[in-house]
Structure 1
Amino acid sequence: MKFYGVTSLSGAVRLAFFASAVCGPGAFNGAAAQEPVRIGVITDMTGPYSSLSGPGVVVGMKMAVDEFGGKVLGQPIEVLSADSGLKADIALSRAREWYDRQNVHMIVESSDSGSAVALQKLGADKKKITMFHSGTTALTNLECSPYGVHYAWDTYSMASGAARAAVQAGGNSWYFITADYVFGKSLEADASKIIRQLGGDIIGGVRHPLNVPDFASFLLSAQQSKAKVVGLANAGSDTQNAVKQAAEFGLGGGQKVVPLLMFDTDVKGLGLKVAQGMEFATAFYWDYDDKSREFANKFFAIHKSMPTMNHAGSYSATLQYLKAVQATGSLDADKVMKYLKSVKIEDAFARNGRIRVDGRMVHDIYQVRVKTPEESTGPSDILKVILTIKGDDAFMPLADSTCPLVKK
Structure 2
Amino acid sequence: MNFDRRTLLGAAATAPVWGAAPFRSARAQAANTIKIGVLNDQSGTYRDLSGGGSTQAVRQAIKDSGIEARGITVEVVQADHQNRPDVGSTVVRQWIDRDGVDVIMDVPTSSVALAVNTIVREKNKVFINSGAAASDLTGTACSPNTVHWTYDTWMLAKSTGGAMVRAGGQRWFFITADYAFGHALERDTSTFIRNAGGQILGSVRTPFPGTTDFSSFLVQAQASRAQVIGLANAGADTINSIKQAAEFGITRRGVKLAGLLVFITDVHSLGLQTAQGLVLTESFYWDLNDRTRALTQRLGNMPGNVKPSMVHAGCYAGALHYLKAVAEMGVAAAKASGVEAVNKMKAMPTEDDAFGAGSIRADGRKLHPTYLFEVKSPAESRAPWDYYKLLATTPAEESFRPLAEGSCPLIRS
TM-score, L = length of structure 2: 0.89
- 1:62 maps to what in 2? 59
- Local SS of the residue matching 1:153: coil
**Is 2:335 aligned against 1:333?**
no
What's the RMSD between the two structures over aligned residues?
Answer: 1.6
Specify which structure has the higher proportion of helix: 2
Q: What is the alpha-carbon distance in structure 2 between the residues aligned to residue 221 and residue 267 of structure 1?
A: 25
Partner of 1:261: 261
In the other structure, the counterpart of 1:236 is 235
Q: Distance in 2 between matches of 1:293 and 1:355?
A: 24
Q: Deviation of residue 32 (structure 1)?
A: 5.7
* Contact in 1 for aligned 2:48/2:306 (Cα 8 Å): no
1:36-75 mapped onto 2 (5 Å cutoff): 36-69=33-66, 71=68, 74-75=71-72
Classify the secondary structure of the residue corresponding to 2:172. Answer: strand
Q: In the alignment, is the contact (CA less than 8 A) between 1:140 and 1:401 conserved in 2?
A: yes
Match of 1:224 in 2: 223
Which residue does the alignment assign to 1:11? none
| 1:5-404 mapped onto 2 (5 Å cutoff) | 34-35=29-30, 36-69=33-66, 71=68, 74-133=71-130, 134-211=132-209, 212-251=211-250, 253-303=253-303, 304-329=305-330, 330-331=333-334, 332-404=337-409
Is residue 226–residue 253 contact of structure 1 (8 Å, CA) maintained in 2?
A: no
In 1: Cα distance, 2:385 partner to 2:155 partner: 24
CA–CA separation in structure 1 for the residues paired with 2:262 and 2:168:
21
Partner of 2:11: none
Deviating more after overlay: 246-255 vs 264-273 = 246-255
- Measure, in 2, the Cα distance between the counterparts of 1:70 and 1:395: 31
- SS at the partner of 1:71? helix
Is contact 1:84–1:111 with CA below 8 Å preserved after alignment?
Answer: no
Letter in 2 for 1:248: E
8 Å CA contact 1:49, 1:236 repeated in 2:
yes
AA partner of residue 55 (structure 1)? G
- Between the aligned partners of 1:298 and 1:135, the Cα distance in structure 2 is 27
Higher mean displacement: 281-290 or 388-397? 388-397
Distance in 2 (CA, whole Å) between partners of 1:226 and 1:362 is 37
CA offsets, 1:310-366, max 9 Å, x none?
001000000000000101123132332222111221211223421111111111111
Please state whether the residue corresponding to 2:383 is helix, strand or coil: coil
1:398 Cα deviation (Å)? 0.8
**Matches of 1:324 and 1:75 in 2, distance apart?**
13
Contact 1:175 1:230 in 2 (8 A): yes
Whole-Å Cα distance in 1 between the matches of residues 148 and 277 of structure 2?
30
- Cα contact 2:136–2:142 (8 A) shared by 1: yes
CA contact under 8 A between 1:328 and 1:335: conserved in structure 2? no
Cα contact 2:54–2:106 (8 A) shared by 1: no
Q: Is the 8 A contact 2:233 2:261 kept in 1?
A: yes
Partner SS state of residue 301, structure 1? coil
Shift of 1:160: 1.6
Tell me, in whole angstroms, the C-alpha distance in 1 between the residues paired with 2:142 and 2:212.
Answer: 34
Structure 1, residues 54-92: CA drift from partner, whole Å, max 9, x if none?
Answer: 110000001111222362863311001000000111111
How many residue pairs are counted as aligned between the two chains?
Answer: 380
Consecutive unaligned residues of structure 2, counting only runs of 5 or more, are: 1-21
Measured in 2, the distance between the counterparts of 1:239 and 1:52 equals: 12
Aligned amino acid, residue 104 of structure 2: I
- Please give the alpha-carbon distance, in whole angstroms, between the structure 2 residues aligned to 1:198 and 1:218: 26
- Write the letter of the residue equivalent to 1:288: L
Measured in 1, the distance between the counterparts of 2:168 and 2:69 equals: 53
Alpha-carbon distance between aligned partners in 2 of 1:406 and 1:351, rounded to the nearest angstrom: 26
Q: Which residue of 1 aligns with 2:8?
A: none
